[in-house]
Amino acid sequence: MSELTTTNKSTIMNTYLRLPLTLSKGKGSYVWDQNDHMYLDYTSGIATLNLGHVPPEVHAKVTEQLDKLWHCSNLFEIPAQQNLADELTSLSCFSQAFFCNSGAEANEAAIKLAKKYAKDQGNEERVEIVSFTGSFHGRTGTTLAATAQEKIHQGFTPITPGFRYLPFNDFESLEKINNGKTTAVILELVQGEGGVRPANLEWVQELANACQKEDILLIIDEVQTGMGRTGTLFSYEQYGIEPDMMTLAKGLGSGFPVGALLAKDKSALSFQPGTHGSTFGGNPLAMTAAKATLDTIVSHHLVDEVKRYSEKIFTKLHEWKKEFPAIVDVRGKGFLIGVEFDKEVKGIIEGLRKNHVLALVAGPNVLRILPPLNTTEEEIDQFLMILHDILDEQLKEESS
């Protein structure tokens, strides 16, 4: 027996390295631990709590729904699902939605739809999907294969066939998109887990043109970038493109597990009864949480807030890049912010935590900052002040 199988004494499988911190209560941008210590939470449950913790607008609708109906299966009409689909399609370039429970499932649905579309077109030979280095599309058997990162594949070979990987943001990749077998391309416009790396505008536009010319479906994975996170409701709006499909999950339900695939008519019609489904997907509780979340983002004009305050944060971070040579790069969009250092950021994260601020990593050297979309200017100032103190403390003592 290997050591790995005997050292884990917990009854929970050892899939996460957990912080020594238990969160027991949250309100807006703040959380409290079991000892009632308060923290400014700029992890937002990994880009999930776009309205902060326990947002009152969502709380009200979900509690109302809790008293009525939780689940009924997709064998019945679900008005809350219809309402959410109507609103998501009216706010985007897509015409139909499919609901599921997570990001990986939304991408699974997109991949299935792309394959089915090719078959329906009589293009039996089109079986491949192109993805890009550094991407992250999920942990299921097929979405880990869509993820173009060797370390995610390790231990799980043979992985699902039919994926081809090309370099991200590389213009030479564009000529290799169509090898005669390609049915779709899947892409994040800001790679989240891959280190907060925005896609180049011109590159994306040329990619979209190439796809359109060759009848290759363009799938934008907005699981992390969607729902206002990058300063527009969906990040594709900033690229002047109209994808064929988009996937959503993280920020869609304010922490309620829910995912969605949106598609234009062209490919959407390839799903018919019997081709795809989900037991829980689209149930009344999840749809209510998502609809209330979307309504709040829209009615409170939160994307404008994100744009405004994001500029303020980026201006500071760019100044600090000059002040601290250990900062290698500052990048991202809206409230999906990455700061790359020339060393591991574990110490900075820990320093922040000791000062009651929570932030994330995106790879060992990248600090990932994910404020809720409705964070206040005071909270941002507080965050920036504490971060600057930590950088002062940790980076200056090193160089002196």
Ligand X SMILES: *Cc1c(COP(=O)(O)O)cnc(C)c1O
Q: Which helix (H) or strand (E) holds 340?
A: strand 336-341
- Minimum CB–partner distance for residue 106 and ligand X (Å): 8
- In the complex with ligand X, the residue whose CB is nearer, 334 or 351, is 334
Contact assessment for residue 42 and residue 358, using Cβ atoms and an 8 Å cutoff: yes
- 103 vs 332, beta carbon nearer ligand X: 103
Residue type, 106: A
Nearer to ligand X, 192 or 284 (CB): 192
Of 233 and 380, nearer to ligand X (C-beta) is 233
Of 44, 50, 92, 102, the residue at the interface with ligand X (CB under 6 A) is 102
Nearest-CB residue for ligand X: 103
- Alpha-carbon distance of 19 to 31, in angstroms, equals 15
Contact flag: residue 256 with ligand X (CB under 6 A)? no
Answer for the pair 84, 114: CB distance below 8 angstroms, yes or no.
no
Residue 188 touching ligand X (CB under 6 A): yes
Q: In terms of CB distance, is 102 or 173 closer to ligand X?
A: 102
Q: Which is nearer to ligand X, 103 or 338 (CB)?
A: 103
Q: Which two tokens stand for residue 56?
A: 């009152």
Give me the least distance between CB of 185 and ligand X, in Å please: 15
CB of 345 to ligand X, least distance (A): 19
- In sequence order, what are the residues at sequence separation of 6 or more whose Cβ sits closer than 8 angstroms to the Cβ of residue 105? 138, 140, 249, 259, 278, 281
Q: Which stretch binds ligand X (CB under 6 A): 131-139, 278-286, 308-316, 356-364?
A: 131-139
Report the nearest approach of ligand X to the CB of residue 66 (Å). Answer: 23
- Residue 324 interacts with ligand X (CB under 6 A): yes or no: no
Instruction: For residue 307, give both structure tokens.
Output: 């744009």
Strand order in the sheet with 327-333: 327-333, 336-341, 366-369, 360-361
Q: Check residue 262 for interaction with ligand X (CB under 6 A).
A: no
Binding span for ligand X by CB under 6 A among 58-66, 100-108, 158-166, 327-335:
100-108
Q: Which residue has the tokens 């110490």?
A: 347
Task: Rule CB under 6 A: say whether 193 interacts with ligand X.
Answer: yes
Among 14-22, 79-87, 216-224, 373-381, which window interacts with ligand X (CB under 6 A)? 216-224
| Residue 137 touching ligand X (CB under 6 A) | yes
Give the CA distances from residue 228 to residues 72, 133, 232, 252, 295, in Å, rounded to whole numbers and listed in that order: 30, 25, 5, 10, 12
Nearer to ligand X, 163 or 324 (CB): 163
Can you tell me which of 94, 132, 136, 234 binds ligand X, judged by CB under 6 A?
136
138 lies in the binding site for ligand X (CB under 6 A)? yes
Does 223 contact ligand X by CB under 6 A? Answer: yes
187 binds ligand X (CB under 6 A): no
Paired tokens of 52: 């902060």
Are the beta carbons of 137 and 130 closer than 8 angstroms?
Answer: no
Q: Which is nearer to ligand X, 40 or 223 (CB)?
A: 223
Examine residue 221 and tell whether it contacts ligand X (CB under 6 A).
yes
* DSSP-assigned letters across all residues of 238-260: GGT---SEEEE-GGGGTTS--EE
Residue 392 Cβ, how far from ligand X at the closest point, in Å?
A: 32
Q: Are 370 and 383 in contact (CB under 8 A)?
A: no
Q: By CB under 6 A, is residue 236 in contact with ligand X?
A: no
Of 133-141, 151-159, 235-243, 332-340: span binding ligand X (CB under 6 A)? 133-141
Interaction between residue 249 and ligand X (CB under 6 A): yes
Residue pair 98/89 in contact by the 8 Å Cβ criterion: no
Axis-axis angle for helices 284-299, 302-323 (nearest 10): 70
Give first-to-last CA distance, the chain, whole Å.
Answer: 49
Q: H helices within 276-392, ranges in order? A: 284-299, 302-323, 346-354, 377-391
The Cα-based distances of 193 to 75, 157, 201, 302 in angstroms read: 36, 22, 20, 24
CB of 271 to ligand X, least distance (A): 20
Size of the site for ligand X (CB under 6 A): 15
* Nearer to ligand X (CB atom), residue 115 or residue 250: 250
Question: Would you tell me which residues interact with ligand X (CB under 6 A)?
Answer: 102-104, 107, 136-138, 188, 192-193, 221, 223-224, 249-250
